[in-house]
Amino acid sequence: MPTNDELATLLEEMADLLDARDVEYKPTAYRRAAENVREYPEPVEELADDGEDAVAEINRVGDAIAAKLVEYVETGEIEELEALREELPVNMAALTSVEGVGPKTVGTLYDELGVTDLDELEDAARNGEIREIKGFGPKTEQNILDGIDFARQAHQRTLLGTGRPLGEAARDFLAGIDAVDAAELAGSNRRWKETIGDVDVLAASTDGEAVVDAFLEWENSTETIESGPTKASLRTGDGVRVDLRVVDPSEFGAALQYFTGSRDHNIHLRNVAIDRDLKLNEYGCFDVSAVDDPDSGQRVGDRVAGETEAGMYEALDLPLIPPELRENAGEIEAARDGELPNLVEESEIRGDLHAHTEWSDGDATVEEMAFGAAEFGHDYLAITDHAEGPGVFGNTGLSPEEVREQADEIEAARDALADEGHDLELLHGVETNVDAEGELSTPDDLLAELDVVVVSPHAALGQDRGEATERLIAAVEHSETDILGHPTGRLINERPGLSPDFERLAEAAADAGTALELNANPSRLDLPDSAVRVAVEAGATIVIDTDAHRPGAFSEARFGVHTARRGWAETDDVLTARDAEGVRAFLDQ
């Protein structure tokens, strides 16, 4: 059964192929449809069983796109997509992962040089062939060459926004098998890293073969890679590998600890155990003080822990270390000294201060976003549509006059909320742009009228460290700036973005009373976790926002929360963990 993500990916591929052939309008329609298909709360495949009209009920999915989705569900292919692939036989996803290479560039490179993949792109760049194409030149060629290594690395890893839900689906499926006592994610997915390699899941059972047999029948599986009595690997329709390991229930905690921590965390923890005449591994914690050769077997000595993960740490006189911290970045010392942070929780997020509507590049009205936030459980929401300025997608930014006009719709939405008994506080803001020199693209007098001002970099993202630092410091020190939005401008697996001196930036933000955004969109997670820790240590305020372009995106806040946890952020560090009164006090300072 194709997942919503798989169907959305097909629509995105069609958009790119159409874009590469200079087809107008359709690519945008396919991309917006893909966004809504991916976030649709129910399996679109089930809607397809009821026909095209049912699929067309999804927002921004018209009759033509609905027909193609039904065609794929029924036949396994889309005839028009196959024709486009035959006309342009390229690895579009890999090629467009090179910064500066979009679908149109891919089309040109194929037509002029026959480039179909990263290897051929690299050869063309190294041979000086790209510069000979009209409109390219030596600088473009060098930029492409510089971006290929990043693209190769990025293309091998899956975004957390894809890998985590997939892992949770695998875990929940395993938990429902009669032979399974417990199931849990492991690896980088459980540590909520921004990208993952494979999805790792553990199951506790005394009947490994029954669990493996059931796992291989999981509806998301499209290919069995390998299988055995207690292990199996399969591939999903999204192309992601999922690895299962079945362990004895008495050793489940040990396996969970072993397969969750980073390599360096586990090595450090094993050394702590050795100093105490203990042996720590995936099978348990063993007292080997009376054993002549502790390396003579995996289960030698007297077993003192293994059934629970907490017990593995308790055996070393340590509290349970949260999975997000297990990177050997001081967490073991902090645990030993009783100084682990009291990490922020998902349930503590009270609102969102960065969201878009149809006024700029969003997919919903002001009222729809407001009601979506209220129904999600938020206490407050800021509408911060793009202002005009450099780098705004599709030139959708609002002029000062349009920002002021929007105030009437904001007020109407407030009235509608009140009429329906919602007490959500709806704030009017803007996401303005900071240019390469640190200047804002919206007049100060307008910014002073608004509840919230988010200032973000959208262009000139290739600046060197010094330029980027001065630019962003100028933004946070501007008298009207409340929040520095997605500070690096990166898109994970697509472009690296700015690399400022985060220590200087955090100190400036703390002094200016400006919040640094942790944009929870899984393609951004910006601030990165390492920068969050620097900011927290500098005393800067973090704000977890979703940058939502539709109501369904409010749920992405959880990715921001766990990235903040990876950065050692506590509740008091996070602006959106405060109530509306606390947020108002921060914004008014």
Q: How far apart are CA 310 and CA 322, in angstroms?
A: 10
Radius of gyration of the CA atoms of the chain, in A? 26
pLDDT at 545: 98
pLDDT class for 59, splitting at 50, 70, 90? confident
Q: How far apart are CA 352 and CA 154, in angstroms?
A: 29
Residues 407-427 have pLDDT tens digits of 999 999 999 999 999 999 999
pLDDT at 155 over 70: no
Query: Residue 210 is which amino acid?
Result: A
Q: How far apart are CA 371 and CA 377, in angstroms?
A: 10
Residue 457 and residue 433 in contact, taking contact as beta carbons nearer than 8 Å: yes
- Among candidate residues 490, 493, 462, 494, the one with its CA nearest the CA of residue 99: 494
Q: Would the pTM count as exceeding 0.75?
A: yes
Report, as an integer, the average pLDDT of 493-522. Answer: 95
pLDDT at 150: 78
DSSP E strands, 258-387: 278-281, 284-287, 302-305, 351-352, 380-383
Beta bridge partners of residue 433, listed in sequence order: 456
Report, as an integer, the average pLDDT of 543-555. Answer: 97
Report, as an integer, the average pLDDT of 556-566. Answer: 98
- Percent of the chain at pLDDT above 90? 86
Among the residue ranges 19-28, 271-280, 502-511, the one predicted with the least confidence is 19-28
pLDDT class for 1, splitting at 50, 70, 90? low
DSSP state of 424: P
Q: How many CB atoms lie within 10 A of CB 539?
A: 12
Q: Domains along the chain?
A: 4-155 (1.10.150.110), 158-247 (3.30.460.10), 252-336 (3.30.210.10), 346-588 (3.20.20.140)
Comparing 28 with 257, the larger pLDDT belongs to 257
Residue 540 and residue 533 in contact, taking contact as beta carbons nearer than 8 Å: no
pLDDT at 10: 92
**Coil, helix or strand for 490?**
coil
pLDDT at 4 over 80: yes
Q: What is the mean pLDDT of the chain?
A: 94
pLDDT at 569 over 90: yes
pLDDT class for 20, splitting at 50, 70, 90? very high
For tokens 């202002």, the residue is: 387
End-to-end Cα distance, the chain: 53
Comparing 296 with 546, the larger pLDDT belongs to 546
**Preceding peptide of 527 cis, ω within 30°:** yes
Backbone angles phi, psi at 299, to 5 degrees: -115, 30
Report, as an integer, the average pLDDT of 530-537. Answer: 97
Comparing 355 with 59, the larger pLDDT belongs to 355
Comparing 6 with 581, the larger pLDDT belongs to 581
Q: How many CB atoms lie within 10 A of CB 180?
A: 20
Copy the structure tokens of residue 200.
Answer: 């790792």
pLDDT at 395: 65
pLDDT at 394 over 60: no
